[in-house]
Amino acid sequence: MADSDQGGAFVEFDRVQKSYDGENLVVKDLNLSLPKGEFLTMLGPSGSGKTTCLMMLAGFETATNGDIRLDGQPINNIPPHKRGIGMVFQNYALFPHMTVAENLSFPLEVRKMGKSEREAKVKHVLELVQMGEFGGRRPSQLSGGQQQRIALARALVFEAELVLMDEPLGALDKQLRETMQFEIKRIADDLGITVVYVTHDQTEALTMSDRVAVFEDGRIQQLAPPDELYESPQNSFVAQFIGENNTLEGTVKEIKNGIALVQLDGGGLIDCKPVNVTKAGERTRVSIRPERVEFDKTRLHADAHTLKAEVLEFIYMGDIFRTRLRVAGQDDFIIKSRNAPDQVRLEPGSEIEIGWLAEDCRALDA
């Protein structure tokens, strides 16, 4: 599933496994390699093993089995302080008894750097995160967003080529989080550093990353650029986890010309793109994004299969309309339509017919 060995892999997980108790594997056979300069996000629900992977890379956990390589060198036996990896922690972990400048100067001091050089670097990195005047403050005198910037600056000040971030924006409010997402992305691109970012927020993952690794049950379920991840989920977990998604269950009736005909359990026939199904008779879970559902017959293929639906609820959300339907016996089918001048507002209680392009509807594993 993960990219196989490519030349110039900067960080590499090679068949890595991790168990805490000797009975259960938290990380199962992880293979992952990322080139220099990539922004990779590990996305997954809590307990999926993503943070454990990050901690193994940072050196705070040891891999039970397998190799982790940094720039070609196995780092399993190198203690964290010799790895030279910058890290931003969930709650920032700024040292409360030191000022901002002292916090930033700490990694330089332990590297026995001269005073003038240290001061220059601290000043430079403070400007990079736009916190120039805050050097004399204590972390407790800063707001959450400012602390976040300092934590980032501290991970960058000793010029680490690899920076790890463990849900760094989790404690911020929505607006600040969005600002910081762009800020982090901008700085990472400017400096050309490699970033491994852990989050459970899929929007964050989609916005920031070059590639996203979706974790579940100790495995990478899919490793792909954000658009591919959203539009072509490889299995039903990824489809469910990334973005909003309608799921219908059924059985494959036939596969012909790259299109699978699926008989839904709740009645009705639909056309799908076969992703994880290969032959007739297989159980499948069909996934379709709410914004790809059409209810205007003129915009569908003449011979496309359609389903009958009953409108249950119409929600006005400003930029979009969100309509809940009963489809094939299920009450939770959602469609989204853009709030455009000519857009139809569906009346609850009315009967409509819905359909979609076969390639938008993916027949995944059951």
Q: Where on the chain is the footprint of another protein (CB under 8 A)?
A: 58-60, 79-87, 89-91, 93, 95-97, 106-107, 110-111, 154-155, 158, 164
For 289, other C-beta atoms within 10 Å of its C-beta total 22
CA distance linking residue 69 with residue 91, whole number of Å: 27
CA dihedral 231, 216, 30, 284 (to 10 degrees): -60
Closest distance to another protein from the beta carbon of 80 (Å): 4
When the beta carbons of 82 and 174 are compared against another protein, the nearer one is 82
When the beta carbons of 164 and 242 are compared against another protein, the nearer one is 164
Angle at 173 between CA 170 and CA 174, to 5 degrees: 95
Closest distance to another protein from the beta carbon of 150 (Å): 12
3-state helix, strand, coil in the chain (%, to 5): 30, 35, 40
**Phi, psi dihedrals of residue 305, rounded to the nearest 5°:** -75, 140
Q: How far is CA 199 from CA 92, 160, 209, 214, in A?
A: 15, 21, 11, 10
Beta bridge partners of 355: 294
What tokens were used for 194? 């490699």
Closest Cα partner for 239 from 283, 197, 202, 279? Answer: 202
Closest distance to another protein from the beta carbon of 95 (Å): 6
When the beta carbons of 62 and 91 are compared against another protein, the nearer one is 91
Closest distance to another protein from the beta carbon of 92 (Å): 8
Closest distance to another protein from the beta carbon of 46 (Å): 17
When the beta carbons of 19 and 251 are compared against another protein, the nearer one is 19
What tokens were used for 338? 């853009």
Q: How far is CA 4 from CA 194, 226, 316, in A?
A: 19, 19, 46
CA distance linking residue 108 with residue 125, whole number of Å: 12
When the beta carbons of 109 and 347 are compared against another protein, the nearer one is 109
Closest distance to another protein from the beta carbon of 10 (Å): 18
When the beta carbons of 97 and 174 are compared against another protein, the nearer one is 97
When the beta carbons of 30 and 160 are compared against another protein, the nearer one is 160
**Phi, psi dihedrals of residue 272, rounded to the nearest 5°:** -135, 165
When the beta carbons of 61 and 216 are compared against another protein, the nearer one is 61
Closest distance to another protein from the beta carbon of 155 (Å): 8
Closest distance to another protein from the beta carbon of 24 (Å): 18
